[in-house]
Structure 1
Amino acid sequence: MNGHRLELRDITKSFGTMPVLDNVSLTIGDGEFVSIVGPSGAGKSTILRLLSGSERSDTGNILFDGHPLDESGASFAFMPQRDALMPWRRIIDNTTLGLEVKGMSRRQARERVAPLFEQFGLAGFEHHYPAQLSGGMRQRAALLRTVVQRQDMLLLDEPFGALDALTRTQLQEWLQEMWAGHRWTALLITHDVREAVFLSDRIYVLSPRPAGIIAEFQVPLPRPRRLADLGTADARAIETDILERLLHGQAARPDNLTRPFERTTKCPV
């Protein structure tokens, strides 16, 4: 990657007397898919709230394209854990909602969204209501609503966590194919280590609260990826190493933190 699209430098955050983030630093390059995994309550979603502007860090800096976030004019498209579709709006009008909020007319918004329904596997369901769709289709509609806004970066907060295992796996494979075609710059928050390995170029691992980065992994799997790739030695080794660090709180030494996967896994702490 040529430079960083997003950079967090030494971010700390507390809520009252409870420290949540402790000197968190990470980078994301243009067109890169990066995941953050960590224990429950470690502050993963707090990072997204800092990026969206709903919270402010206590110390540290957040840069986008080299400029402080609040001065960069950067805009993020956010996809939450649940689809948050409005039950009284048809699917086409749910997917245009973000555009309408930004001032686009409903007619113009529909014209932008309509060509994407087939690509997102929703052709023929434009005029259905959310209750008439499966959970997987609702999540695809939610992602369509997110990406059609053409923001600078996608923020994905465990978007498949509420789905059954089969549907979740199908959507992970679908998202990987969609990302490969569009090369969105994306940050995924997830507790699913296998999901992170399958989707990501790089993975950051958070410690328990107050959370710091204890490891960073480059994922060497070729793209486009298939589920069978998760059975390779490289994928199994990364997944095992991440789980070990999550379960036992192992931290990578500072001189190994940003090295490629091969060096990190050969130098366990």
Structure 2
Amino acid sequence: MSATRLELSDVSKSFDGLAVLDRISLQVRHGEFVSILGPSGAGKSTLFQVLTGGVARDGGQVRFDGAALGDNSPFAFMPQRDALMPWRRVVDNTTLGLEVQGVSRVAAQARVTPLFAEFGLDGFEQHYPAQLSGGMRQRAALLRTVVQDRPMLLLDEPFGALDALTRSGMQRWLMTMWAQHNWTALLITHDVREAVYLSDRIYTLTARPARVMREFAVPIPRSRRDLASAEASQIEAEILHTLLNQQQDP
């Protein structure tokens, strides 16, 4: 079994007396793709803010590779929207994270340029974001994220704004890229089918204050991932049943 990369133990967070996260515990192992599912407003994005240092947790522990999480973040974070700057060309958008870290623009471009073909952006380096399709913008945003070469990806509903057909294509592309690069990833999504397709394991959360309800394994080999299969449909139905029953409880 792979070593644990990220471990959360009893992580809690409140805002002005309103409990948002209530003793969240979960693990992500090296090379795993793990998803978090839960109702809107449950606190999933707050959990990512805790991990990236945007807010301080009230209690609990966060450990990465066995050590307490320090000031040097091990995470590359991709938000819900692509957040590309409209006045910067695509190549300059993809280097932005590196430049913020102090890498020179020339060095950053040298690191990014060889990846454009792999990310389906070859020939679009000098375009502006408005000239790209939604899927291409998301690929540019993911390139900006992964080129920072952090140990782990945090993906906050990266495909939520895309149409169904584009989203499906991006999911397949992300699975291919994840396998090629052996990324470790934690995904927030509202889409049960997306979680089943992409994940090794899935955590479901309650409504606010968020608690881990259940952990689901997805034991379908990547080579046989098919959302029309009986195995995938059974896992999806079980997750939906868990989430819907939780919402109906008084």
1:9 is matched with which residue? 9
Match of 1:236 among 220, 233, 238: 233
The answer to which structure, 1 or 2, has the higher relative contact order (CA under 8 A, 6+ apart) is 2
Deviation at 1:3, TM superposition (A): 2.6
Output the amino acid matched with 2:181.
H
Unaligned runs of 5+ in 2: none
CA distance in 1, matches of 2:92, 2:222: 34
- SS of equivalent to 1:172: helix
Query: Percent identical across equivalent pairs?
Result: 66
- SS of equivalent to 1:112: helix
Q: Does 1:171 align with 2:170?
A: yes
- SS of equivalent to 2:10: strand
2:67 is matched with which residue? 67
Output the amino acid matched with 1:95.
T
Output the amino acid matched with 2:236.
E
Output the amino acid matched with 2:53.
G
Deviation at 1:168, TM superposition (A): 0.6
Deviation at 1:232, TM superposition (A): 1.4
> Could you state the TM-score of these two structures normalised by the residue count of structure 2?
0.96
RMSD of aligned residue pairs (Cα, Å): 1.2
2:89 is matched with which residue? 90
Would the aligned equivalents of 2:4 and 2:29 in 1 still touch at CA under 8 Å? Answer: yes
Would the aligned equivalents of 2:8 and 2:63 in 1 still touch at CA under 8 Å? Answer: yes
Output the amino acid matched with 2:44.
K
Would the aligned equivalents of 2:201 and 2:218 in 1 still touch at CA under 8 Å? Answer: yes
Deviation at 1:101, TM superposition (A): 1.1
CA distance in 1, matches of 2:130, 2:73: 34
Would the aligned equivalents of 1:180 and 1:224 in 2 still touch at CA under 8 Å? Answer: no
> Could you state the TM-score of these two structures normalised by the residue count of structure 1?
0.89
CA distance in 1, matches of 2:230, 2:57: 39
CA distance in 2, matches of 1:12, 1:123: 44
Deviation at 1:225, TM superposition (A): 5.2
Q: Does 1:105 align with 2:107?
A: no
1:220 is matched with which residue? 219
1:266 is matched with which residue? none
Specify whether residues 225 and 130 from structure 1 end up closer, same or farther in structure 2 by C-alpha distance, changes over 3 A only: farther
How many residues in Structure 1 have an aligned counterpart in Structure 2?
247
Q: Does 1:137 align with 2:136?
A: yes
